[in-house]
Structure 1
Amino acid sequence: MAALEQELVAKHGEGERARIARGLAQVAKFWRQDGSGSAGKGDGDAVVLASFVRDNYAGDAVARDALFSRMEFVFESLDGHLHEIGRDFRRQSDLDIGPIQSFDETLAAYDPGAHVSDDLFANKLAFVILLNFPLTSLDERLEKGETWTRRQWAEARLAERFSKRIPAAVNLANAQAYSDAARYIAGYNIWMYHVVDSNGTRLFPPKLRLLSHWNLRDQIKADYTDAKDGLAKQRAIMKVMERIVTQTIPDSVVDNPQVDWNPVTNE
């Protein structure tokens, strides 16, 4: 890599040395070289790597601006459409519009962008970005970020997309785990009209169903405006959340509008 660095410095000037060295190091970190007997299983041998770098290093401001502008446009389009597709795949699971079937769960667990990173490393677009834009650490962003321009932040975010090389199978497994967790949470509703105190008093209105935990949290905030029963309601919700956290909440009261429950006595 040292010889390649010198070659690029000779072509683009000493002022580019730091950028060249950084770009080469970033590419080398993720490049999987073909070894003996493994042709085609990596990103290419040393000759392929050198050719790639010569062809794709943006050695002046005009070339970097063109590269940045193109990436800004295409990734905005890619991310936006993938978000839209994912939203539509999760529609039945995310919205309260009817029963959730097993195939709805399969749809919700699918990540349409799972293969994108793999594909962009395979076709080497990821390496084009790593060669030309800086990977930054959290410490660096905290230390220097306040003085960065909008463009510097955008370049850092662009390169950060490829700060890890995660296989598509792992991304799909992550999506499945997230979907399973989301489905669990989506069904964790508490029917507050059926939450009673030791006297059987109902503090909450009929048909009030709150999702754990953010609906319960938001209800605590809302009850500050209730001068009469606000404190009692907040204390009741606190006990509900405590039962959820400690997992001592009875299964029979989760998303069940037929059972009254005193969260203090847990009966």
Structure 2
Amino acid sequence: MKSLIKIALILTVFIMASCAQNASQKQEIAKSTISQSTIDKVVANIMDESPDVDKARLERGVKQTANLWFPENGTEEEFTEFCKTNFITNSEARKVAYNKIARNFEILYGHFNKVSLELLEPLHLTGYGDITPVDQMFGAYSAGAHLQSDFYKNKIAYIITLNFPEYSLAEKNELGAKWNREEWAYARLGDYFTARVPASLKMKYSETETAADIYIADYNIFAGQLFSEAGEKLFPEGLKLLSHWNIRDEIKSNYADKEHGLDKQRTLYRVMKRIV
């Protein structure tokens, strides 16, 4: 239930924001300007210099990189030079590159996750006092919101798309049975950079998700004020249950109450049906 509520809130905010933006102004959407002829030329040049290279991997990597290469990243000539310089033809060198990228991603994403969890502690845990606007602002902050944008700017993203291109789900289902662990790892790395999502949108997502978390965390059911259909007070005075896991635990605990357990469970069930 918590996940459904969060998803509904996030979708609502994004739909409203999108409608407002479309109504107020139309923004020009950036897109790649790398032509198919340039892609073909790059592939041909690299094949001429390294005829033993896997052509299918080369074509896939160059095409994906071209699709994500915007004018701000350079001209077609600069794109061509980048691909010729950075495409890894040697399997051992590619393995070394993967290990270095994987290590650095583990450092970055691991620490970003640690930062996020600790910033959210005042919202998720007791012992920090009442939730204040400052807590909400820090909880909504995403330290990694600009990471992908930065990696497109410094071209780390293109090193990855060029040498570890994306495979669709259908392709993974078809080819994956023959892949070893290393090939699966390469394919998974290719999933990191498949679209260019603006950092501002990622930050907005983080803010919206945090707002949904706060809404859920503050949704308390004052069970001590609930009555059965017969007008009987079933729960101790002052009992407050957080939706939804406190309610879940209370329902489970009442299986042991042979006298009033079923009435309590039915009462809480009726409450859960009315939670917004």
**Would the TM-score normalized by the shorter structure come out above 0.5?**
yes
* Residue 114 of structure 2 corresponds to residue 80 of structure 1: no
Residue equivalent to 1:93 = 123
Structure 1, residues 116-144: CA drift from partner, whole Å, max 9, x if none? 01000100000100001131223333444
2 CA distance for matches of 1:186 and 1:6?
Answer: 57
Letter in 2 for 1:7: N
Q: Which of 222, 242, 251 is residue 211 of structure 1 equivalent to?
A: 242
Q: Which of 59, 73, 81 is residue 21 of structure 1 equivalent to?
A: 59
What is the aligned residue count? 237
Residue equivalent to 2:225 = 194
Question: Kindly tell me: are residues 198 and 231 of structure 1, through their superposed partners in 2, closer, same or farther at Cα, counting changes over 3 Å?
Answer: closer
Structure 1, residues 8-34: CA drift from partner, whole Å, max 9, x if none? 11222244101100000110110013x
Query: Aligned runs of 1:114-153 on 2, under 5 Å?
Result: 114-153=145-184
Question: Kindly tell me: are residues 15 and 51 of structure 1, through their superposed partners in 2, closer, same or farther at Cα, counting changes over 3 Å?
Answer: closer
2 CA distance for matches of 1:192 and 1:29?
Answer: 56
Question: Kindly tell me: are residues 202 and 143 of structure 1, through their superposed partners in 2, closer, same or farther at Cα, counting changes over 3 Å?
Answer: farther
* Structure with the larger helix share: 2
2 CA distance for matches of 1:64 and 1:206?
Answer: 65
Question: Kindly tell me: are residues 88 and 150 of structure 1, through their superposed partners in 2, closer, same or farther at Cα, counting changes over 3 Å?
Answer: same
Partners of 2:254 and 2:265 within 8 A in 1: yes
TM-score, with normalisation over the residues of structure 1? 0.81
Letter in 1 for 2:203: L
Residue equivalent to 1:256 = none
2 CA distance for matches of 1:214 and 1:79?
Answer: 28
CA apart distance, 1:175? 1.0
2 CA distance for matches of 1:69 and 1:162?
Answer: 17
CA apart distance, 1:184? 0.8
Q: Mark the runs of 5 or more structure 2 residues left unpaired by the alignment.
A: 1-38
* Residue 92 of structure 2 corresponds to residue 62 of structure 1: yes
CA apart distance, 1:225? 4.7
Identify which range, 52-61 or 150-159, moves more after superposition: 150-159
- Answer 1 or 2: higher relative contact order, Cα 8 Å, separation at least 6: 2
TM-score, with normalisation over the residues of structure 2? 0.78
Partners of 2:53 and 2:89 within 8 A in 1: no
Question: Kindly tell me: are residues 159 and 215 of structure 1, through their superposed partners in 2, closer, same or farther at Cα, counting changes over 3 Å?
Answer: farther
CA apart distance, 1:228? 4.1
C-alpha RMSD of matched pairs (Å): 2.0
Q: Which of 220, 223, 239 is residue 270 of structure 2 equivalent to?
A: 239
